[in-house]
Structure 1
Amino acid sequence: MKKLSSLLVLSLTAGALLTGCGKNESAPSPQAAAPAPAAPTKIVIGLDDNFPPMGFRNEKNELVGFDIDLAKEAAKRLGAEVEFKPIDWSAKEAELNGKRVDALWNGLTITEERKKNIGFTTAYMENHQIIVVPANSAVKTKADLAGKVIGIQDGSSAIDAVQKDPVATSFKELKKFGDNVTALMDLTTGRLDAVVLDEVVGRYYTAKKPGEYVVLDDHFGTEEYGVGTRKDDTELLARLQKAMDDMKADGSAGRISTEWFGKDIIK
């Protein structure tokens, strides 16, 4: 019995050791993959609601415009609801990075300075900073702006474009306005000698009032429009980029452009 008992103890001990070794050598369970980022169900777009034909209010106080229609089409392709939120355009970066809006889509010019704080899609349109003067003005070129009062929208890329040009040092005053519409009204009443603004806006307004304004041949350079997101929101930026690429490829962007400008000016 004693011998049998000893054999039993040795057998149990060996089994325990083998069991322990088995546990130590077993492969670790695979770690679950991180879930993919959820697609946005709502996109809040910040805009200047007084920037026709890109985004503005019609006679029914509805937000309409070229960029409005582009954004609606992109959101539909993303399966997301879109909300348009009018903001102070001069504080657009604060609105974006403060997460009060998800994107800026309203004739937003791509600049190296803005790229430091904003993620941009590729450009979808080219634009110029044009000079608009009254029809009876003696101003015919940029050089003629010397000693004159020039109107410009505060917070717009037109400011940078003008200030980079040597002629800016000859202005009597560079007067800033909350929006281009007010600046053009002051031009009409004679409080300004010229207004520098985005070509898409200037052409829209001058076409509505034929014979009242003249657009000079000179301008303050060519720029490009893009859609802006927070720099760390790479997921939304990628989704918007794909939507825009698809819209260009299938002609949807060109169709919207033709509806607003009479031709396809999509870049």
Structure 2
Amino acid sequence: MGYHKPPPFALELGGQLCDKFEDDFGDLYGYKGLDYNLWCRGTEELVFSKLRTEVVTKLCRRVVLLTSYDGDKRSFACTGYLIKWHKKGTPVILTSASLIRSSDNESKINEKFKIDVFLPPNQHATGTLELYHSDYNIAVISVQPRLRCIHPENIFHGEKGRKKVVAIGREVEDGVLMGTIGFVPDKPYDKPRNLDCKDLKLSTCKIKKAGIGGPLVNFIDGSYAGMNFYDGTRKTPYLPRRIIAEVLSKTDLPSQIGMSQPINIMNESAVKNRWPVPKPYWYHPSFGATPRGCPKVPPPNL
């Protein structure tokens, strides 16, 4: 899975891997054909039962799981959101450029990663990188073959106000929807702790790494409010829809203008923002207090 091997005796003595892609967050929403009970894994937040039925249906047809591979080795896993491109209405996937950043050097983009797209219950497709913006950490992915029964959103028109919001992601192992409810403060005095992009805002939703690139949506109608990121803190940084639409509306899809290579919207020499993602690490309970984000495991009987 691309993780480092555990230290000697870590597993035998109750060690665990923290900040991994497989961590769930919030309420879980399954799909037809899933063969196990989600109640034992989700929280008591009951997000999806609070949302309108039509909102949940749209999210099921818009939110995808993305996995990038360097050869046969998994590099990254995150969430993507199906949108209508501003020209011709072509469905594409909007996500975080962390998906295609080099695992050896996070400041470098690897345009040759293989990208797998999963839309439950059984649609797998190959993703192709079309565009990316290094400074805002945005990537646009096209899909072949095209996904069926989708409901992409037009994010380039009709933005609405937001206060009560929901952060959505796809679980990495089975692709179930994950969601958590929060608010966007009227006057956000604090800024993201570990990300330095000045245009980022904060919501009180709490997500995990698999939620990177996923949508922050309005609670009432499910409309897109922004793209979520993860920095390991108790709040979720997100890039507002207005910024994303402004950046993407100035360019074309390479595949629509006869180009076979992805386009870097941003001049690399002008990149100012860093987008670190918390690294997975092995933790042993004998070393002290349980770190944030790790489940509590009783110390071994020695």
Say yes or no: TM over 0.5: no
Please state which structure has a larger fraction of its residues in helix.
1
Q: Which has the larger radius of gyration?
A: 1
Q: Normalization by structure 1: what TM-score? A: 0.24
